[in-house]
Structure formats: structure tokens, C-alpha cells
Chains A and B, each alone.
Chain A
């Protein structure tokens, strides 16, 4: 089949990194992503194919981590956690051979690897030892890979079909449009970040959560906060006018241009500005950008003993952590999703919450454009400059076959 594939090619990664400084189109052309004819993947279950399904991609989103990879900016951290060559694509709504539509929870967790669950009912990303993600399993049929889209055995969403384990699949109702369903995975990420903010808001009078950045993930965090952390007053810094409009539409209490966020937070919580940092600050700041500047800004606008949740993938950055030390700020990563404990003590999976939130917010409004897989250069370039071009989420559309 024809699919987009990433091979380990250091020279191409280097070229992409340089080219990305010039234009996203050049980076997409010169980078490690290529449209190729690839062999159909073998079932990753090995001798035990039970529970594995072919998923026919309908829509597959382009994520910031995909762009970082294509443009050669991804951290080398993941080198030992992925297996080449792989087909990207982890934000997927697809269809099983049976015709049932599903959304993909991409983490290749214990169940997919034939290992005991860390606890009964655990989601794929649960557990406190990630060893299983970094080694071959199922008799070697399932190679290393943190998730579908970074594993050479399963294929990925940027192909007509791929393999997924039933632990990764969430059936969706017939009345949920594909355009909404493809937003479930990023929404799950945002909701997870929102729920990681919640411990710092419980028992606090008028808690303020700042969200820095309002691309797909920032907006997903806003949706998560408004839906599942309703006690928080949400203050959003959004760079582009359309992002500001979306943040307001999702219920953010205060929306300002990015450069005004720190002052907007001060206006909410009081305190002073000393040396470019707030003396007080937001109870929690969710950094949905993941850059040197954004992490630094997030630390500077979070109150002493508050929490910074890193939702945007930060990569390699340089930071003066004196302020973090002095203010005893908690820095919390928010990679993915799993089993969540809500404020009322109820436990549920992030994906179930995300499906509910996608319906509630009619998340299809965030899908700005779709492209056929063959137009991947244009699609990647559009996604890489989504904010500037008035877009939020860009996806591949592979529904022609049906």
C-alpha cells in the first residue's frame, strides 16, 4: 500500500531542521517523511492474533509532535522508544473490517503486548514502569514503540490501514461525525493536563489556571478545564485572533494576546511584578507551547508552590531554574492519558471523557482543513503554520475508498 513513512536518516533530519527555518514546505519535502509503497504489516500479535484488528483510516490528524519529527526538531530522547521505519499518525478515527467506527488510543500498553495489566481495568498508558514500551514483545512481532505512529510493527494512521489492539480502540456512536471523532485524541491530552491541574485547585478559593498557548492542545486544555475543573477561572494567552475566539467559545473566562498573559494573571490574582516575574501568580499554569520561552514564562506566572503542567512537548531547552527552586514550583509533565480520578472520586478513562467532551463542545469546529494523503507536503506545511494561517487542526482524509 502507499503510505507516509519515516526512516531513520540522520542526514534528512538535519536537512529538515535547516529547511524548517526557511519554510515548512521545504522541511516537509526534504525531511525524513516520504510517500512510499510499503509492505502490508504482519499482525503484531504474533502467534496470538486475538484482539488485533485492522483499522481502516478515515481521518488522521497531524500533531505537533509529528511536525517536530518531520522538521527534525524532535528530541533524541525518543530514539530508544521508537522503531524505524514507522508510519506516523496517532490521531485517528477509523473503521474496522466489521464496519464499526473507532477512535484510537494510541499507546501500545500492557494488553497489546500480552503482559499483565498494572491494575484491573487499566488503560494502555497506565503503569509506573515503561520497560514494556522499549522492548519487542509478542514473540518479536510487536517492536519497540511508545504508541501507534512510532512503531514499525503496527503501521500508523497516515496509511490506508494499520493494526491496533482492542485495548486501544474506542467505539463511537453512529451520530458522531468523523470530523469530531478525529479530535478525541488531542482532547484527551488536554483533558489529562486539565485534570493534572486540578489537585492544585481543590480547596483553593477562586483558583486561577493560566493556559499559555491556544493551538489544538491549548484549546483542548481549555475544554478540559471548563468541562472537568469547573471551579477554576481559566485565563488564556492566545497568539492569534482566531485562537482567541475559539478559547472564548470554549468558555475561557479571560482571553488575551499571548504577550499580555502574565499581566492578565496578575489582574486576576493580585500581587506584583518583580524582575519580570509575578510575586504571586496562577495556581496552575498549563504550558501548551513547550518552548524555552513558554516554560520560562509559565514558571514566572505561577504562584509560589503552584504547579506548571507541561502539555506542549518541550524538547531540549535551557532554563534558569532558580525561580523554580525559590518558589518551590512543581513542574509536571502531561504526555498522554490513562485512568483518571475525578474530583468526586470517580475513576474513568481519559478517552471516555474526551469522547463526551468532543460531543459537548462539537469539537469538529477545530478541524480546519483536510488533505488527501498524496498532498502531504501541503498538509504538513499547513499544519506547521496553522496559527499564522488561521487554522487549528489539519488532518488527512482517507475516506475515498468507502
Chain B
């Protein structure tokens, strides 16, 4: 029986806490008697018969006809699937999406459906490399569809192949991939790792145009998204659900398949990462030291390679299929069952270690903009109710924050770092002044459409993702980061955790209360 998450009050006997520092870690001692650590629940048990569960979900869907009854020989069937931004780290093969799609294809074949397209729902993310597609879908699906051109990646800039479905009562235009729009049935194969994902978001972002995305991926919406993990208090999700209604009323029939994963993230020798520090045995401590020292001795490229090569032994904890909103509510229950931790009240300071990966750098470099996005966007938003840190408090993150970029994946990020951030770190200002130029840049458009680059506007979206956290905290400190780079982000550099507390004392006084968000693994603090 896995233990639930809990809040540890730090006292003098509490050992130092593990913090991510990009592709490495450190152990940091937190002040006794005024610090607490939020530990995630242990991984839930996974489903033993995954294929059986998927088949059962397809045959017994929620608020929908069984999938076989929806399949007709002369129909256009399109299967969309989440891209490489999920899961993080990538899961061991076979990927859940492969299992879902294989089950759907088996039923489609039995029904005589031969017009089947598979579309990677990458929105404005970078196109997946072939090896990533193979990892997600398996060689058999890849080899059967890719050479025939029926397995491809969504292109949000291909205006000949986009179609307007309709408009919400708020004037938001839903514009999606034309093949999806014109399909008789769309099956969406989802991997739900956090509560933010899934539901109507899958199609209304995954196969949408830039124009469509800009209605909700903007500073105003994201500053009023409180939080990303709580869709009922998220302007982002409200907009997506309005678009979902348009899709439901005027778009193709959608059959959603959502799955949830447990948090069994790190295989040996990294399994000590998921243990609570005071439960580390001699072997864990030795492994930590050996790993930390080895990683420190490696060049950063080698460290990245080691970390990105990790494949997670996740287990699927649920699968549900059918009508999107009903399915998603069940998904959320299952996601929260794994992630939620009850927490009483806020503190003056929130500390968190920023890892080497976020949804926007699978196989790539966690550049400075993504450090901001991961810290103030994702980790800060790991709450329901109230943020873990009070308004006007201080956020302390640990990360090397080197000014390194992957020029293939993140070309516009480099210019954003060089041109936009020196001008303004204010999401509203940069949106007004710079976003259009980047969104319409022909070079970025070319690289997004034909290479493996994120869309030109993507660094703005990554920045907006942190807009709520940025607005909420009065100071953000990065420990161990490249000082000039940290300053360009609008943050304050500190060389040690104690320096960071000293710097923070200007804002929160000399005896602030502190919360440490223990990552890994993923948790959502239910703050009362």
C-alpha cells in the first residue's frame, strides 16, 4: 500500500533535502523549526493487464457508444496522440499511446476502416524526430503509416490544411487541422501526467493554429490561471472548454482515450531520488555521492546525455474512454489520487530544485527561459486552492541556468533571450511589443514547419506560463545560476542557499517560514 504524501516539519534532526540542479543535485539544509517539506505520495499501484484495461475502456466508454459501433468501412478515421512533451522523462516502451493506438487500429481493421491518419498533436511544439515517433508508437505502427504519409505531425502554419470550426461566445475562433475537422471520427490517445493536460485541451491546442492558440496563450489569461493544475480556477481551461463546446457542437465526433500514470519515475541507479531523505540507507547515500560526483566531473553535454537517456518505469493507473468531459473528470480524479497532498496555509518562501527537463526540452537543453517556465510556470502552479508561497513572498530555485540553447530546437528562444528579455521581462509588454514579430518570422516558420524547431512564438508562451508566479512573488532567486543570465531573466542570483535566504530577508525578514516542494516526483499541494 503506497504511503500518501505528507508535510514534514523540519527540525534539527532533519537531514539535508535533495534539490535538483539541472542535470545534477545538491543536498541543502533547511532552517529548523520554520521550514516544511511537501513530499509527494508514493507511486500508486499500476494496472496489471494494461492492454485488457484499454480494450475494456474502448468497449465500455463513458457517455459514448462503444468504439466498434462508431467505426464504419467508408469513414475517415483520424487518431491524434500527445507528442514528445509527454511523458517526462519518456516512458519505457511500449508507450501507453502505442498500446491505445494498436487497440484502436485492431478495431478499425475489424470494421473495415481503411482511411486512417495518425497525427502527432504537437500544437506549436517542435516536430518529433523519427526515433521519437518510433519510441511513442512502436516500430510496427511507424513502419505501416509513416512511409505512406498517413502518419504525420500537425502543422499550425499550414493554412491550406486548417479549418475554422466556429467561434465561442467570447469571440474565440476555433481553428484546427483540416483532416481532423473533416474526419467522421477522431480518436485522441492521451497520456495524462499532470492535471493541466487532457480534456478539451488535447484537441483545441494540439491540432490548433497559432491564431486559435493566441486566444488563451496570452499574459492576461495566464495571469488569471490559478492554477494550471486546477481547471475550475483557470482562465486558460475556461477558454479551452468554451472552444471544446464549439468543437462538440460544430466539429467532428471525438472519442477521447485518457490514461494516467503513477509516479514511478526513476529506475536504478536513480531510484534514491524518490526516497525520503531520512530513509536513505548507506547504499542510497553512497549512490547519491557517487552519482553527484560523477555528474559533476562530466562535461555538461555528457551529463545531459546521461539524464535524457533515462526511461521511466511508469505504470498506468487508469484508462478511460468516451465523451471528452466525462472522461476527463474521471482522469482528474485519478491524477489527483496520485498527486494531491493536503497542506495547511502558505509560507513566506517557496524553495524548489529545477530539474534538467521540462515539457519543452525533451532530448534538449533546458535553456534559461525554460528554467523560468519550469519554476514559475509548472512547479509554482503545482497547487490547488492557494499557492504554497504567500503573495509578495520569495521563490528560491536551484539551477545552473547557463546561457545555453539548442539552436535546432529553440532558435527563436535565442533571439528572445538576446532581444526581448533585455528590453522587458513583463509578459504584457513583450506580448504587445514583440510577439507578432516572432510569430510571423519566416525563418522560424520555416524551421518549425520543416525542421525540429519550436514555433517562433513559443518562447513567449513559455514565458507567459510563468506569468502568474512572476506576478505573485516579489522576488525570485536562483541559487547556483550563471549570474548574468539570472539577472537577464529579471531574477536575483545567489551562490548558496544561505545567501539566498539572506537576500530574501530584505523582503520576508530574518525568520521567514519556508516550504520546500520536494521534486521529484510530481505532487499537487491542496492548500487550505
Query: Which residues of chain A have a CB within 8 Å of any CB of chain B?
Result: 256, 260, 263-264, 266-267, 270-273
Least distance between A335 CB and chain B CB atoms (Å): 33
Chain B 263-302 residues near chain A, CB threshold 8 A: none
1/0 contact string of B398-431 vs chain A (CB within 8 Å)? 0000000000000100110011000000000000
| A240 CB, min distance to chain B CBs, angstroms | 13
Q: For the complex, give the distance between the alpha carbons of A142 and B419 in Å.
A: 54
Q: Are A264 and B418 in contact (CB under 8 A)?
A: yes
Find chain B residues with CB under 8 A from A264 CB: 418-419
Cross-chain contact of B446 among A260, A267, A272 (Cβ < 8 A): A272
Contact A271 B418 (CB under 8 A): no
Residues on the A chain within 8 Å of B106, using CB: none
Q: In whole angstroms, how far apart are the Cα atoms of A264 and B411 in the complex?
A: 13
A-B pairs with beta carbons under 8 Å apart, 22 shown: A256-B418, A260-B418, A263-B414, A263-B415, A263-B418, A263-B419, A264-B418, A264-B419, A266-B415, A266-B443, A267-B415, A267-B419, A270-B441, A270-B442, A270-B443, A271-B442, A271-B443, A272-B442, A272-B443, A272-B446, A273-B411, A273-B443
Cα distance A272–B415 in the bound complex, in angstroms:
13
17 further A-B pairs in the complex, CB-CB below 8 A; given A256-B418, A267-B415 = A263-B414, A263-B415, A263-B418, A263-B419, A264-B419, A266-B415, A266-B443, A267-B419, A270-B441, A270-B442, A270-B443, A271-B442, A271-B443, A272-B442, A272-B443, A272-B446, A273-B443
Nearest CB of chain A from residue B179's CB, rounded to whole Å: 28
Min CB distance, A217 to chain B, in Å? 24
Could you tell me the distance in whole angstroms from the C-beta of B148 to the nearest C-beta in chain A?
A: 31
For A263, the chain B residues whose CB sits under 8 A away are: 414-415, 418-419
Residues on the B chain within 8 Å of A260, using CB? 418
Give the shortest distance, in Å, between A98 (CB) and chain B (any CB): 52
Q: How far is the CA of A260 from the CA of B441 in the complex (A)?
A: 18
- Size category, B interface: under 10
**Residues of the A chain whose Cβ atoms lie less than 8 Å from the Cβ of B418:** 256, 260, 263-264
> B414: nearest residue on chain A (CB-CB)?
A263
The residue of chain A having its C-beta at the shortest distance from the C-beta of B438 within the complex is A267
Which of B418, B441, B446 has the most A CB atoms < 10 Å from its CB? B418
User: How many angstroms from the CA of A263 to the CA of B418 in the assembled complex?
Assistant: 9
In the complex, what residues of A have CB within 8 A of residue B446's CB?
Answer: 272
Report the minimal beta-carbon distance from A267 to chain B, rounded to whole angstroms: 6
Q: Nearest residue in A to B437 (C-beta to C-beta)?
A: A267
The residue of chain B having its C-beta at the shortest distance from the C-beta of A280 within the complex is B443
Task: Give the chain B neighbours of A266 by CB distance below 8 A.
Answer: 415, 443
Residues in B whose Cβ lies below 8 Å from that of A256 = 418
Min CB gap B418→A, angstroms: 5
Chain A residues with Cβ under 8 A from B414's Cβ?
Answer: 263
Q: What is the minimal beta-carbon distance from A74 to any residue of chain B, in angstroms? A: 35
Interface hub of B411, B419, B443, B446 (most chain A Cβ within 10 A): B443
CB distance from B71 to the nearest CB of A (A): 44
Residue of B nearest to A279 (CB): B443
A residues less than 8 Å from B441 (CB atoms): 270
**B443: nearest residue on chain A (CB-CB)?**
A272
| A263→B414 CA distance, assembly (Å) | 9
Task: Please give me the 3 A-B residue pairs with the lowest Cβ-Cβ distance, nearest first.
Answer: A272-B443, A260-B418, A263-B415
Give chain B residues whose Cβ lies under 8 Å from the Cβ of A273.
411, 443
Separation in Å of the A378 CB from the closest CB of chain B?
30
* Bound-state Cα–Cα, A267 to B414, Å: 11
For A267, the chain B residues whose CB sits under 8 A away are: 415, 419
Binary contact readout B437-455 vs A (1 if CB under 8 angstroms, 0 otherwise):
0000111001000000000
- Most chain B beta carbons < 10 A, residue from A260, A264, A271: A260
Complex Cα gap A44–B307 (Å): 74
Residue of B nearest to A256 (CB): B418
Instruction: Name the A residues within 8 Å of B443 (CB-CB).
Output: 266, 270-273
Chain B nearest CB from A118 CB (Å) reads: 47
Expressed in whole angstroms, the minimum distance between the Cβ of B166 and any Cβ of chain A is 35
Bound complex: CA of A264 vs CA of B414, how far in Å? Answer: 10
Shortest beta-carbon distance, A135 to chain B, in Å?
52
Complex: A260 Cα to B484 Cα, angstroms? 15
Query: In the complex the two chains form, what is the Cα distance from A272 to B411 in whole Å?
Result: 11
Residues on A with beta carbons closer than 8 Å to the beta carbon of B411? 273
Residue of chain A at shortest CB distance from B444: A272
Chain A residues whose CB sits within 8 angstroms of the CB of B419 once the complex forms? 263-264, 267
Give chain B nearest CB distance to A238 CB in angstroms: 13
Q: Which residue of B lies closest to A274 (CB)?
A: B443
Q: Please, which residues of chain B bring their CB within 8 A of the CB of A270?
A: 441-443
| C-alpha spacing A256/B420, complex, angstroms | 12
Contacts of A272 in B (CB 8 A): 442-443, 446
Find the A residue at minimum CB distance from B418.
Answer: A260
Cα A159 to Cα B419 in complex, Å, equals: 47
Question: A261's closest neighbor in chain B, by CB?
Answer: B418
Smallest CB separation, A138 vs chain B (Å):
56
User: How far apart sit A260 and B419, CA to CA, in the bound complex (Å)?
Assistant: 9
Least CB separation from A254: chain B residue: B419
B283: min CB distance to chain A, Å: 45
B482 to chain A, nearest CB (A): 14
Q: For residue B442, which residues in chain A have a CB less than 8 angstroms away from its CB?
A: 270-272
Tell which of A263, A264, A267, A271 has the most Cβ of chain B within 10 Å.
A267
Assembly CA distance A323 to B273 (angstroms)? 51
**CA distance in complex: A271, B418 (Å):** 17
Q: Which residue of B lies closest to A263 (CB)?
A: B415
Minimum Cβ distance to chain A for residue B56 (Å): 51
Closest to A266 in B: B443
Question: What distance in Å separates the Cβ of A232 from its nearest Cβ neighbour in chain B?
Answer: 19
Nearest to A276 among chain B residues (CB) is B407
How long is the Cα–Cα vector from A263 to B419 in the complex, in angstroms? Answer: 9
Query: Which residues 90-105 in B have Cβ within 8 Å of A in the complex?
Result: none
B520 to chain A, nearest CB (A): 35
Looking at the assembled complex, report how far the CB atom of A174 sits from the nearest CB atom of chain B, in whole angstroms.
43
What is the distance, in angstroms, from A274's C-beta to the closest C-beta of chain B?
9
Closest-by-CB residue of B relative to A257 is B418
Complex CA distance for A266 and B407, rounded to whole angstroms? 15
Closest-by-CB residue of A relative to B407 is A273
Return A259 CB to nearest CB of chain B, in Å.
9
Question: CA A100 – CA B191 in complex, angstroms?
Answer: 84
CB distance from B421 to the nearest CB of A (A): 12
How many angstroms from the CA of A264 to the CA of B415 in the assembled complex?
8
Contacts of B415 in A (CB 8 A): 263, 266-267
State the CA gap A270–B418 with chains docked (Å): 16
Cα–Cα distance between A263 and B411 once the two chains are bound (Å) = 10
- Cα A267 to Cα B418 in complex, Å, equals 10
Residue of A whose beta carbon sits closest to that of B440: A270
- Nearest-neighbour CB distance to chain A for B424, whole angstroms, equals 15
**How far, in whole Å, are A266 and B415 apart by their CA atoms in the complex?**
10
Whole-angstrom distance from the CB of A355 to the nearest CB of chain B? Answer: 35
A263 to B412, CA, bound (A): 10
Q: Whole-angstrom distance from the CB of A212 to the nearest CB of chain B?
A: 16
A266 CB to closest chain B CB (Å) equals 7
Name which residue of chain A comes closest to B422, CB basis: A256
B17 CB, min distance to chain A CBs, angstroms: 37
Tell me the nearest residue of chain B to A278, going by C-beta.
Answer: B443
Q: Give the complex CA separation of A123 and B467 in angstroms.
A: 61
B350 to chain A, nearest CB (A): 33
- Which residue from chain A places its CB closest to the CB of B447 in the assembled complex? A272
In the complex, how many angstroms separate the beta carbon of B436 from the nearest chain A beta carbon?
13
Interface positions, chain B 120-171, Cβ under 8 Å from A, are none
Q: B445 CB to closest chain A CB, in angstroms? A: 10
